[in-house]
Structure 1
C-alpha cells in the first residue's frame, strides 16, 4: 500500500504562474483587469475564434449563453442525463424545460441517433456534453439544428484542447463553454470561458457577466478610463479576476503538453486493463477526433466483481488511491425526478454508467510508478493479475 494518498486529480501549477499571481497582488489590481484581457486574447488565438469571454465558472457561462440565445419559459433544451448537474441546472435557471436523451453505453456521449425523436415544436436548443474530453459526433447535431432552426450550445467543460475532425472544439459551431476548475485539463482555480463567432452574442455576454454595465472595471478605473457607466439591462456578477487569469496565462501554453501526458497515461490504462474483466473500459468512436482525456472513467462489472462501485472506491481509498464518480445519472436526482417524473428505466445507458462508473487517478504530473500503484491496488482487491 502507498505511504501517501494519491489524488484522482491534481493541477500542475508552475512557479511562473505563482509569480504572476504574486505580481497581480503586488500591483493592487486583483479583479478584472489587464491580465484577464491578455488571457482572453490568448484563448481566442488558441481556439481560433474571434471571441473568448471568461467568467467566474463554466456554469455561469452556460447560463449566460442560454440567456443570450433568448431561451426562456416554455422553451425546451435537449441535453444528456450523463453530466454534472450544472448542465441541467442552468436550463432551470432560465425557466426553460429540460429534455433528456440517453447516452451511448461505450462513449458516455449523447446518442445522436435518438436526438431527432426528442425534438418538438418547443425545442429551441441542443446542449451536447463532450464527456471526459471526448468530442460528441457534432456533424449530425448541427445538421438537425439547421433542419429545425435550433441553436447548439456545446457543454465543453471537459474538452478544452479536444478536436473534432481536425478542428478544435470552440473553433467552429455556435457556442462552446469550457471549465477551468482545478481538476480540469487547465485551471484558473475556478472559472470558465465561452467561445463564439457571433459579435452580437459576445456583446450580450460581456454585458450580462458584469451587471449589464457598458464598462467593466478595466474601462472605468484605468488611467484613461471614465468612472461613468450605463446599465444596458440587468446582469450578474460573473466576472473573472486578474488573479485567476494570472494562473491561466501560464496554464494555456502548456495545455497541449498536459493533454499529451494525460493521453499517454490513458493509453497505458487501456493497454494494462484490456483483459481485466472486472472493468469495462471507455471506447472511442470511429470518426476523427482528438480526445482531451479529462477523465479516465471505466465502469465496474459489479455482478462479476460481486462488490458495488462504492465498495470498490472505499477499498481503493483505504489503500491511499483516490477516485471519484463522474457522474450519477442526473434524472434520478430528487429535484428532476419529482419535477419531470423521471424514473429508473427511462435512460438505461446513463443509469448503468451512473451506477458503476469510477474515475481513476489521471493528471499530467502522475508518474508511471503512481499509475502502477493504482493497477497493483486493483490486482490486490480482485486477487487477479493485470496484463503486463
Structure 2
C-alpha cells in the first residue's frame, strides 16, 4: 500500500527542508570579496576589467561588459540596438517580466511569441508568422538553461533585418551545436542573481562580437560618459570627460566582480553538478504516471538552471497545487517558474478593454504549460541524499495520486 503522505499526517521523506535553489559560496569567494574591501577600490577598478576579460574568454566572446544586473544588461542591449518609440520587439512570454519591461523602457512595442511545448522555448514557426513591418528586434529566451533554436532565429533575423538579443540570463555555460552561448556576434545577456550557477548576489554581463557594439554598451552602462581622449569632442586636459548620450548607472561593483572571478573558476564544476542531478532525475522519474520530464533540443547542452516537470492532470486525482503542497509537506522545496508575462496585472492593464480588445489567450501554449509546471530542487551543493530524497518524494506523491 502507498505510504501516507506527510500532508495527510504521514512521515515526511526528510526531516529538514530542501530549498529549490541555493548559492554556493566558499572561503575562496569570501576572501576574494574581502580583499577588495581592504584595497579601497570599490568600483570601476581592476577586478571589473579582469572579470570582463575572463568571462569573454570563457564564453568565447570577443567582448564583455559587466553590469549591475541581467535586467540592466537587457536594457542597454536594447538601447545599443537603438530600439525606440513604437518599434516592435518580439520575445517569449515564459520568462521573468524584465525582458518585456526593458522593451517598454525604450517606448517600444512588445509582441509575445508562443512556445514549443517540448522545449518551452520560443516556437520559431510562430515567430515567422508574427513578424511585421514594425519588427526591429527579437529577444529569444533560453528558458531554464536550454538554448533556443538559434539557427532558425538567426535565419529569420537575417531575412527580415532584425537585431537579435539573446536572453541567456538562465543559460550561462549552455552549448548550442558545439559553441557556448555568448560566443555569437549577437548581444547576449547573462545574469548573476543569487539563484544562478555563477552568483554575485546581483550582477550581469553582456557579450558581443562587435567592437562598435561593445563601445556603445560601455557608454550606456556608465551614464553615457566617455573618458577616452581620442573619442572626446573637446580636448581640455587629461582629467576631462564628457557625457555624450543618455546612459544609466549600471556599473557592477569591484566586490561583485571579485566574487564573480572566484565563482567563474568553479563554473565548470557547478555545471557538471547540475547536469548530474538532471541526469539522475531523468533516469529515476522516467515513465512515472502523470509526469512529463523536460524535453531537450537536439544538438544542445542545457545549463539546467531549472529542472521543470509538468503534471498531466488527466492521469492524476489532484491538480498542480495539490502536488505542490504535498511535495512541500515532504520537505521538498518545489517552485513554479514563471507566470506568463502577459498575465501579470500590469500587462493586463496595458491591454484593458478601454485601450484595446483582445479575445482568448495571447499565447495559449505558454498558459497551458505554466498551469501544470513545477520546478524541482537543482543546485551544485546538493548531496547524494538530497537527490535521493527528491526522487523518493516525487515518486511517493505521484504514485499516491495516480488514477
- Normalising by structure 1, what TM-score? 0.93
CA distance in structure 2 between the aligned counterparts of 1:334 and 1:11, rounded to whole angstroms: 30
1:354-365 equivalences under 5 Å are 354-365=370-381
Q: Deviations over 1:307-333 (max 9, x none)?
A: 332332222222221121111121222
- What secondary structure sits across from 1:176 in the alignment? strand
1:1-388 equivalences in 2 (<5 Å): 1=12, 2-215=14-227, 227-286=239-298, 288-340=299-351, 344-384=360-400
Summarize deviations over 1:207-248 as a string: whole Å, max 9, x none: 1111111149xxxxxxxx965421112211110001101111
Alpha-carbon contact 1:14-1:250 (below 8 Å) kept: no
Task: Tell me, yes or no, if the aligned pair for 2:168 and 2:189 is still in contact at 8 Å.
Answer: yes
Question: What SS is found at the alignment partner of 1:178?
Answer: strand
| Structure 2 contact 84–108 (Cα < 8 Å) conserved | yes
Partner SS for 1:298: strand
* 8 A contact 1:331–1:342 mirrored in 2: no
Instruction: For 1:342 and 1:11, locate their aligned partners in 2 and report how far apart those are by CA, in whole Å.
Output: 41
Deviations 1:356-376 (A, max 9, x none): 211100011111210111122
* Structure 2 residues not aligned, in runs of 5+: 1-11, 229-236, 352-356
SS in 2 for 1:244: helix
The 8 Å contact of residues 289 and 398 in structure 2, kept in 1 or not, is answered as no
Asked if 2 retains the 8 angstrom alpha-carbon contact of 1:278 and 1:305, the reply is yes
Q: Within 2, Cα distance between the matches of 1:300 and 1:16?
A: 41
State the Cα deviation string for residues 181-214 of structure 1 (Å, max 9, x = none): 1111211111110000111211111111111111
Q: Over the residues paired in the alignment, what is the CA RMSD in angstroms?
A: 1.9
Q: Distance in 1 between matches of 2:66 and 2:101?
A: 20
Q: What per-residue deviation string (whole Å, max 9, x for no partner) do you get for residues 144-183 of structure 1?
A: 1111111001001111111111111111131100111111
Distance in 2 (alpha carbons) for counterparts of 1:232 and 1:138: 34
Decide which structure has the larger Cα Rg and report it: 2
Q: Aligned partners of 2:93, 2:303: CA distance in 1, in Å?
A: 21
Which string of whole-angstrom CA distances, capped at 9 and with x for unpartnered residues, describes residues 60-85 of structure 1?
A: 10011001101011100011111111
CA gap of 1:342–1:41, structure 2 versus 1, over 3 A, is farther
How many residues align structurally? 377
Pick which of 338-347 and 205-214 moved more: 338-347
SS of 2:223's equivalent? coil
- 8 Å Cα contact 1:12-1:364 kept in structure 2: yes
Please, which moves more after superposition, 362-371 or 326-335? 326-335
Residue 343 of structure 1, CA deviation: 5.7
Calculate the TM-score normalised by the size of structure 2. Answer: 0.89
Structure 1: which 5+ runs fail to align? 217-224
Contact 1:329 1:354 in 2 (8 A): yes
The answer to whether the 8 A contact 1:5-1:322 is kept is: yes
Q: Deviations over 1:88-139 (max 9, x none)?
A: 1111111110111110111100001111111111000011000111110111
Q: CA–CA distance in 2 between the matches of 1:342 and 1:83? A: 21
Cα distance in 2 between the residues matched to 1:379 and 1:48: 41
Task: Note if contact 2:317-2:401 (Cα within 8 Å) is conserved in structure 1.
Answer: no
